[in-house]
Structure 1
Amino acid sequence: MNRVIIQFFHWYHSGELWKEFIEKAGLLKELGFTAVWFPPATKCSLGKDGRGYDVYDLYDLGEFDQKGGIPILML
C-alpha cells in the first residue's frame, strides 16, 4: 500500500488550523492522504497569529490562559 502525507499548514490560516483540519479530514481521506504533518501544538509567541514554530512556552499545550488562547476542544 502506498502512503501519502500532507503538510497541513499554511501561513495564511485564520488561527483555527485544528478546526479547519477537522472540517477537511474527510475530504483529505477521499483524496488519498494517509498521514498528516502538523506544526507543533504549542502556544506561539505571537498568540493566535503564530504558526506553531514560534514557541512561547514549551510546557503550555493550551491549559494556561496566556497569549490569548486556551483550548476550546481537547482531543
Structure 2
Amino acid sequence: MCELLGVPEEDRTDFRPGPSTSSRAAEFAERNAVSYRSLFECIRSLIRRRRDEPGDDLLSALVELRDSGDRLSRTS
C-alpha cells in the first residue's frame, strides 16, 4: 500500500496506526485516537510533499486531479 501511494521508505513506520492492546476501553480509545491523528498528519504531510514534488504514484495522481478541478468518475 505504501509503495502504491508513494510513501517514502523512511515514513512508512509512521504511516500506519500502532497496535492497541489495552484491556481498558478508555485507554484503548485514547491510544487509537492518538494513532489515527498521527496517521492523518502523516498523510497530510505526504500530500503537501506530493503537491510540491509529484512522483509516479497514486497519491500524486490524486493530488493532481483534485488541484486541477477534475473529478474521478466510475470510468476514470
Shared fold, TM over 0.5: no
Specify which structure has the bigger relative contact order, considering alpha-carbon pairs within 8 angstroms and separated by 6 or more residues: 2
TM-score (norm. length: structure 1): 0.26
Which structure is higher in strand share? 1
Which structure is higher in helix share? 2
TM-score (norm. length: structure 2): 0.26
Name which one, 1 or 2, has greater alpha-carbon Rg. 2
